[in-house]
Structure 1
Amino acid sequence: MNREQISRIAHTEHPIKAPVDDDSVRRLLRRGVPRGDERVLDLGCGGGEWLLRALAANPHLYAEGVDLSEDALEQARLGAIELGVQERLVLHHEKAEDFVSARPFDLVLSVGATHAFGGLLPTLAAARSHLAPGGRVLIGEGFWDRAPSQEAVEMFGDLADLATTVDRVVADGWTPVDGHVSTRRELDDYEWACWGSLASWALDHPADPDSPHLLTTATARRSEWLRVYRDAWGFVCLILRRTSDRP
């Protein structure tokens, strides 16, 4: 079983691949597309969950998603058909950093996918290249809520605290107009859902040759969360506008 298949199983009960609950997703999307007829782009869309929810809630919205995973894009296509929004969704199978858009977008999304661009600021640079004047960016990024252990730093990389993260964004030419810091409940629910779904699948398929590996993986990831980063790692979603629309 490959990494994509494992990830799909892990996110069975939490299809948003970030520690953000349904109410928070709805509120962030309302703030990101205030008119309801915007053009929306998701860089690193995965299974398209953010786009599908935006399209379902806004019948005049148009969306495009970019991802390197064929399996995830097929999942997004099937989801769009199920919701009846497939005519307003275009999906691109390519690296998000290589995508070139013919027209700008009113909202550019990248939640939990900044690693694809090499970090927060490179992701914002990519978003800027696709953004229409007056448009918004919805970006999700991890931060250190408390001083991390060296093991946690090795797992998550060179993150800053929340205030410094926002300062870096502002210094890069952006103004936050809204945001959401994941609550302890959102953070915990996400981890329980992921590793619980993986463990449940393994227990429900004892004859499958991948079952022992998935159960071991679920146990190891749950232990890492509880012992290494639960008390230190946080997650923030920011809705940003360019401080100036000049290049």
Structure 2
Amino acid sequence: MDRQLISRLAHAHHPIAAPLTDESVARLLDRATAGTDAGLALDLGCGEGAWLVRALAARPHWRAVGVDLDAAALTLARESAEALGVVRRIGLHHVDAREFSSAEPFDLVLCVGATHAFGGLLPTLAAAREHLAPGGRVLVGEGFWEREPSQAALDGLGVARDDYADLATTTDRVMAEGWTPVSGYVSSPQEWDDYEFAWTGTLAAWALDHPDHPDAAPAQEAADRHRQEWLHGYRGTFGFVTYLLRQD
């Protein structure tokens, strides 16, 4: 079963592809756009555009650009923008985020839960810097180790121990690259549980509701496997931090 399709189905009831509640997303966007009546935002790996359409709906003088490789997700993003009346203020590009270029700099660059597209947090920040206007801000979300991971946690996430660090080390690495955290938010255990139950439950429900679909069995298997990897692997071990950054 196509991984992009799995992700779209699993995020149907939790369109923010990260362990963040709607309230947390709203607070992060408020802080990221504070003091600016108008601006231009870029989401590198926007998926269904959930961050951007919410930002535009609350900020009538902002414009936005979203970039993603999933054409179907971009279609959903456009539909959401139309439903909220912001479609004229958003541009959506079906292109690899690593290859996107723009002649216009951005006041806010987002990449929350999509740093894998660039090969990790620091390469993502290097890419964001190329798009950022002077005085601009970056909102980036990344995983970190809440505690030393077990082999089950590593296997469940499909990563190596050195792919992530603890929160202090992660923050030190960001600062060493010339970024200053002006705000930050660590997702709560409740947000993690809500996200994972939504991901696995929505995918499993789709499989149950479409028993004759050729992807029903693979979807159920993906949901069951993910639930196992989470509950018996990385739950309580893997954390998620969202930084708001400015350049030194």
* Same structural fold, with TM-score higher than 0.5 when normalized by the shorter chain: yes
State the match for 1:242 in structure 2: 247
Deviations 1:58-104 (A, max 9, x none): 01111001111111111111111111101100111111011111111
2:152, 2:232 within 8 Å by CA — same for their partners in 1? no
State the match for 1:169 in structure 2: 174
State the match for 1:140 in structure 2: 141
2:154, 2:233 within 8 Å by CA — same for their partners in 1? no
What TM-score do the two structures reach when normalised by structure 1? 0.96
Q: Structure 2: state its 5+ residue gaps.
A: none
Shift of 1:207: 2.1
State the match for 1:16 in structure 2: 16
Match of 1:156 among 146, 154, 159: 159
Deviations 1:2-46 (A, max 9, x none): 222221110111010000110000000011111241110001111
1:239 is aligned with what amino acid? L
Q: Distance in 1 between matches of 2:15 and 2:159?
A: 21
State the match for 2:27 in structure 1: 27
Identity of aligned residues (%): 60
Worse overlay, 146-155 or 42-51: 146-155
State the match for 2:83 in structure 1: 82
State the match for 1:197 in structure 2: 202
Shift of 1:211: 1.5
Deviations 1:127-186 (A, max 9, x none): 000101111000000000010023433513410001110010011100000111000000
Q: Distance in 2 between matches of 1:161 and 1:76?
A: 33
State the match for 1:97 in structure 2: 98
State the match for 2:191 in structure 1: 186
State the match for 2:72 in structure 1: 71
1:208 is aligned with what amino acid? H
Worse overlay, 203-212 or 50-59: 203-212
1:237 is aligned with what amino acid? T
2:18 is aligned with what amino acid? A
State the match for 1:219 in structure 2: 224
**Secondary structure at the residue paired with 1:19?**
coil
Q: Structure 1: state its 5+ residue gaps.
A: none
Q: Distance in 1 between matches of 2:37 and 2:5?
A: 33
Q: What is the number of residues matched between the two proteins?
A: 243
1:128 aligns with 2:121: no
2:3 is aligned with what amino acid? R
Worse overlay, 116-125 or 2-11: 2-11
**Secondary structure at the residue paired with 1:134?**
strand
**Secondary structure at the residue paired with 2:233?**
helix
